[in-house]
Chain A
Amino acid sequence: MTQRTRTWLLLAPAGTWFLVMLIIPLTVVFIFSFGERAPSGGVVLAFSFEQYANLPARWAAFKNTMTLAPIGTLSALLIAYPLAYFLAVKANPKWKTILLVLVIVPFWTSILIRSYAWIFLLGGRGIPALLEWVGIEGLRLINTPFAVLIGIIYGYLPLMVFPIYVSLDKLDKRLLEASSDLGAKPWKTFLQITLPLSIPGIATGCMLVFILLMGEYLIPALLGGGKVFFVGNALVDLFLQSRNWAYGSAVAVTLVVVMLITVTIYMRLISRLGASREDVSIM
């Protein structure tokens, strides 16, 4: 077997998967998006931009996605960074493994069950009841953007913690000593050494969380209660309820395009930030 055939053979499973599960369906969706709704549901192939012209009708879904996904990503980053820093730099090596396992433990239970738990916690008999008991009345949490945000942060936090943890863990701790030795106060050392050197981890974590959030469906469905919905929820609605495949396809294509543009801008930004580094290749 030549080197070449072996390479192709090894790539074949992933290649086939991408072709069948990604490229072909995307092409189909792309073609459908120019079609029209058949009277009995489904799609009639055509070449019209009617579906795209109707996009503003689903503006709310795009708006929610494009605000809550970045806010959720940023919030997760702000909460995850100190935790990852503690795990990588401060934690006693004896406890490190156990603490890291604790970060993943939530993944052992289905996100569906965990999100249901939040319905309870944020619902009338949960946290609002507790707050009422201490005198804060009339607070509604469930089915608000805040509830969706809580669910998002809760669900995606580990995905943010791990890449940052890895980049901080491999950071040579002598660099921190060198910085201190050269007269930098601890806060300055963090800003000038630790933070810049953990950018690859931050970039990876944000990318992972952001892309997954753009396609999120479950958390808004459960905690947004039909009031706070993402593009993902709109798609389910269009394909399964209204059975308007053409319009659904146009929404899906738009989401993909929006995602591509955002991620491209983001990548550009990151590579400029890390332009002077050798380890930007992690991206």
Chain B
Amino acid sequence: MENRGYTGNAEPADRKPIGELRGVTKRFGEVLAASDLNLSIAEGEFLSFLGPSGCGKTTALRMLAGFEAPTEGDVLLDGEVVNTLNAHHRPVNMVFQQYALFPHMTVAQNIGYGLRQIRPRIPKAQIAERVSKALDVVRLAGFEDRKIWEMSGGQQQRVALARAIINEPKLLLLDEPMAALDRKLRKEMQIELQDLQRQLGITFVLVTHDQEEALSMSDRICIMREGRIVQIGSPQELYDRPKSRYIADFVGTSNFFNGKLTQLSDELSTVVLDNGMQVQGTVGEGLTGGQDVCISVRPEQMKLNRKGEGLQVAVHNRIFLGEHTEYLVTHETLGDFLVLAPRQAELTEGAFVVGDTATVSWEATAALILDRN
């Protein structure tokens, strides 16, 4: 397993688990919201639940927060089973989707709310001091007496963040915290959140449906589908070695070609595509010979050439993206797929125009043989 160098974090598995889901299933009446979730959250890591709406990621988060109790299985915090422990007893805090700030309180009153619940009482002066420190951390120093509705969306999010971290939770849960922000602000907040996590050393658990958000911030991503965890891994692992077509499609963009796995090998295996072509690639886990599979090749791993070996294609569309140019090309039997050409290649070799014929090639190791689901 590889980890992103810049986080400086140790291997998640080596660290003490701060939160755990053991065979957790949650049913709402007939609806199965989460099914047999097994997951260990390491102390200090940034973990994301990623999946489309209704995949069970929010249910998983709410069980960690204490808003829902599992139907089966165990939720553990710091090594103790907390299945039915109420939210107000858990050392866990949450940043809510629309922030859920208290509209009748000032910024300082919102942030100090958690501290005011503690018995024996914390002296007022001490609360005020910690509130102003928390405001410093989220870069809102001096905003103590503002009303919530006077704050912009981005500022409200910082207040929500400060309100959650002031209690120094064991786990900070973030439920789609960036969904209400515009694109530019979202980018900024992503960086800030990461900084904050490293600075505070608090374990972050984020729920999102935005793959870019998950990829850019997380140490590990837990991909969910229809109530199940389908793969857990670092962003690179998920991108480079997805376990199925679903994951390859959800994390990044990829081209898929259906075929049958004819020859299985540790090195390169062979797939006969539906059009009869033979292609080689790296086989994923749990596949057997003769199985219906698909091969996945990322657009940036394909190379577009004027001539030479490869698939004969016609350039159908060209989108200039700055550092890359995205070509939609058409193959006679394989249909349309995407090729991403670096700007540098275009500058040296010249760009293709719509209607050009070209050949597409890739390294055999770049082609992944995956389950079709």
**Chain A interface (Cβ within 8 Å of chain B)?**
172, 174-175, 177-186, 188, 192-193, 196-197, 274, 276-279
- A200 CB to nearest B CB, Å: 11
Q: Of the listed stretches B15-23, B90-98, B328-336, name the one at the interface; the rest are far from the partner chain.
A: B90-98
Residue of B nearest to A199 (CB): B104
Residue of B nearest to A276 (CB): B104
> Would B100 and A183 count as touching, CB distance under 8 A?
no
> Would A182 and B104 count as touching, CB distance under 8 A?
no
| Bound Cα distance A177, B87 (Å) | 8
> Within 8 Å CB of B163, what residues of A?
182
> Would B88 and A183 count as touching, CB distance under 8 A?
yes
Report which of A183, A192, A278 forms a contact with B103, defined as CB distance below 8 A: A278
> Is B118 at the interface (CB under 8 A from chain A)?
yes
Report which of B92, B113, B147 forms a contact with A179, defined as CB distance below 8 A: B113
Encode contact with A along B279-311: 1 for CB under 8 Å, 0 otherwise.
000000000000000000000000000000000
> Is B149 at the interface (CB under 8 A from chain A)?
yes
> Within 8 Å CB of B106, what residues of A?
276
Residue of B nearest to A280 (CB): B104
Encode contact with A along B63-81: 1 for CB under 8 Å, 0 otherwise.
0011100000000000000
> Would B100 and A180 count as touching, CB distance under 8 A?
no
Query: 4 shortest A-B CB distances, which residue pairs?
Result: A182-B114, A183-B117, A178-B100, A174-B100
| Bound Cα distance A274, B86 (Å) | 31
Residue of A nearest to B62 (CB): A177
> Would A177 and B96 count as touching, CB distance under 8 A?
yes
> Is B167 at the interface (CB under 8 A from chain A)?
yes
Provide 20 A-B residue pairs closer than 8 Å at the C-beta atoms, listed in order of the A residue.
Answer: A174-B96, A174-B97, A174-B98, A177-B67, A177-B96, A178-B94, A178-B100, A178-B101, A179-B113, A180-B87, A180-B88, A181-B88, A181-B92, A182-B114, A182-B167, A183-B118, A183-B167, A185-B117, A276-B104, A277-B103
Give the interface residue-count category, chain B.
20 to 34
> Would A183 and B114 count as touching, CB distance under 8 A?
yes
> Would B96 and A178 count as touching, CB distance under 8 A?
yes
> Within 8 Å CB of B86, what residues of A?
180
Q: Using a CB-CB cutoff of 8 Å, which residues 100-126 of chain B contact chain A?
A: 100-106, 113-114, 117-118
> Within 8 Å CB of B101, what residues of A?
178
**Contact A184/B96 with A276-B147, A277-B104 known, Cβ cut-off 8 Å:** no
> Within 8 Å CB of A172, what residues of B?
98, 100
> Within 8 Å CB of B103, what residues of A?
175, 197, 277-279
> Within 8 Å CB of B167, what residues of A?
182-183
| Bound Cα distance A278, B66 (Å) | 31
> Would B104 and A197 count as touching, CB distance under 8 A?
yes
- A198 CB to nearest B CB, Å: 10
> Within 8 Å CB of A193, what residues of B?
102
| Bound Cα distance A11, B93 (Å) | 53
> Would A182 and B93 count as touching, CB distance under 8 A?
yes
| Bound Cα distance A204, B164 (Å) | 34
> Within 8 Å CB of A181, what residues of B?
65-67, 87-88, 92-94
| Bound Cα distance A279, B147 (Å) | 12
> Within 8 Å CB of A276, what residues of B?
104-106, 147
Encode contact with A along B254-294: 1 for CB under 8 Å, 0 otherwise.
00000000000000000000000000000000000000000
- A121 CB to nearest B CB, Å: 42
Residue of B nearest to A172 (CB): B100
| Bound Cα distance A274, B147 (Å) | 13
| Bound Cα distance A186, B88 (Å) | 9
| Bound Cα distance A182, B173 (Å) | 12
> Within 8 Å CB of A175, what residues of B?
100, 102-103
> Within 8 Å CB of B149, what residues of A?
278
| Bound Cα distance A253, B164 (Å) | 57
| Bound Cα distance A193, B171 (Å) | 24
Q: Using a CB-CB cutoff of 8 Å, which residues 116-154 of chain B contact chain A?
A: 117-118, 147, 149
> Would A188 and B117 count as touching, CB distance under 8 A?
yes
| Bound Cα distance A174, B175 (Å) | 12
Residue of B nearest to A173 (CB): B100
Extra contacts besides A180-B67, A183-B88, A193-B102 (7): CB < 8 Å: A177-B65, A181-B87, A181-B88, A181-B92, A182-B163, A186-B88, A278-B103
> Would B102 and A178 count as touching, CB distance under 8 A?
yes
| Bound Cα distance A192, B114 (Å) | 12
| Bound Cα distance A180, B89 (Å) | 9
> Would A184 and B117 count as touching, CB distance under 8 A?
yes
| Bound Cα distance A178, B114 (Å) | 10
- A180 CB to nearest B CB, Å: 4
Residue of B nearest to A175 (CB): B100
| Bound Cα distance A196, B113 (Å) | 15
| Bound Cα distance A184, B66 (Å) | 13
- A167 CB to nearest B CB, Å: 12
| Bound Cα distance A177, B102 (Å) | 11
> Would B147 and A185 count as touching, CB distance under 8 A?
no
> Within 8 Å CB of A196, what residues of B?
104
| Bound Cα distance A54, B208 (Å) | 76
> Within 8 Å CB of B94, what residues of A?
177-178, 181
| Bound Cα distance A272, B188 (Å) | 39
> Within 8 Å CB of A279, what residues of B?
103
| Bound Cα distance A183, B114 (Å) | 6
| Bound Cα distance A177, B93 (Å) | 11
- B30 CB to nearest A CB, Å: 15
> Within 8 Å CB of B89, what residues of A?
183
Residue of B nearest to A277 (CB): B104
Encode contact with A along B154-190: 1 for CB under 8 Å, 0 otherwise.
0000000001100100000000000000000000000
| Bound Cα distance A188, B65 (Å) | 19
Residue of A nearest to B175 (CB): A174
Residue of B nearest to A182 (CB): B114
- A178 CB to nearest B CB, Å: 4
| Bound Cα distance A184, B93 (Å) | 12
Residue of B nearest to A278 (CB): B149
